[in-house]
Structure 1
């Protein structure tokens, strides 16, 4: 039952990343920390071996190093870098990680194209701060939307998450 609750919270936290990045263009450290805590509870509830935990940690740390370098170069936001690392912790060295990265790239590209089109058609004068921020040509892309959606889709296909959907 603990596994199911952790899986449910993981999905909720990924949805929260989508919403907060879309509305505020930020992904909080608390949200990323909650994803990490859920993972640790999930792992210990399922009795994972130290070797399996170590592999997942190694994947997460590698993701953090790569995405932090991208952040330092101005290619991505710091919240996005931390979210990728936290999500990589869950998926570990599996095909799911590659599915996640592929879908996040695909959704991120689509989101970027939609924002370019929207910014070409509408001016940031709607009176809604979140919408105006998205329409501003000087704003970045809330990539957490793509990361969260990809995380939800990939996690929902995992056998570990089937218990979550059985409860719904």
Structure 2
């Protein structure tokens, strides 16, 4: 089995688990982000050696910085920022802009569906608890998998 196929499966399963946990618990656990970070960096090394490891690591570091800024500005939760960096570790820094754009687009679609559903089911009157918040991990996961699938063509 090719490394690229295993890479896609690992990204899909781990990010899918993150999306599911975000929907069900509104938490993105640190252990999952750490597992994904190590896995993404490992695949970077397996695909392109030390250069690949460096390019994947740089993307993860820059994504963590961007995620931290989005957290400070109140756009992301702390878990979202770490999860974004963990997903970024699966891609070299040369794909950083596309990764961010695709995740943002997925977030826009998610927000439209989320707020329409909240209105339709009368959930917009709900108290401001964790479940009133948009589970942005879904957008991060789906955007990351979409980029991976696009890149495999």
In the superposition, the TM-score normalised over structure 2's length comes to 0.82
| Shift, 1:58, TM fit | 2.0
Q: Tell me which stretches of 4 or more aligned residues in structure 1 moved more than 6 Å.
A: none
Q: Is the alpha carbon distance of 1:117 and 1:157 closer, same or farther for their aligned partners in structure 2, counting shifts above 3 Å?
A: closer
* Kept in 2: contact 1:115–1:135 (CA 8 A): no
* Kept in 1: contact 2:11–2:90 (CA 8 A): no
CA RMSD of aligned residues (A): 2.4
Using the TM superposition, name which of 39-48 and 8-17 deviates more.
39-48
Task: Tell me what 1:128 maps to.
Answer: none
Q: Is the alpha carbon distance of 1:30 and 1:73 closer, same or farther for their aligned partners in structure 2, counting shifts above 3 Å?
A: same
For the pair shown, the structure with the greater C-alpha radius of gyration is: 1
Task: Tell me what 2:118 maps to.
Answer: 119
1:119-138 to structure 2, matched below 5 A, reads 119-124=118-123, 136=126, 138=128
Identify unmatched segments of 5+ residues in structure 2: none
**How many corresponding residue pairs?**
149
| Shift, 1:86, TM fit | 1.5
In the superposition, the TM-score normalised over structure 1's length comes to 0.75
1:5-44 to structure 2, matched below 5 A, reads 5-44=6-45
* Kept in 1: contact 2:102–2:143 (CA 8 A): yes
**CA–CA separation in structure 1 for the residues paired with 2:45 and 2:28:** 26
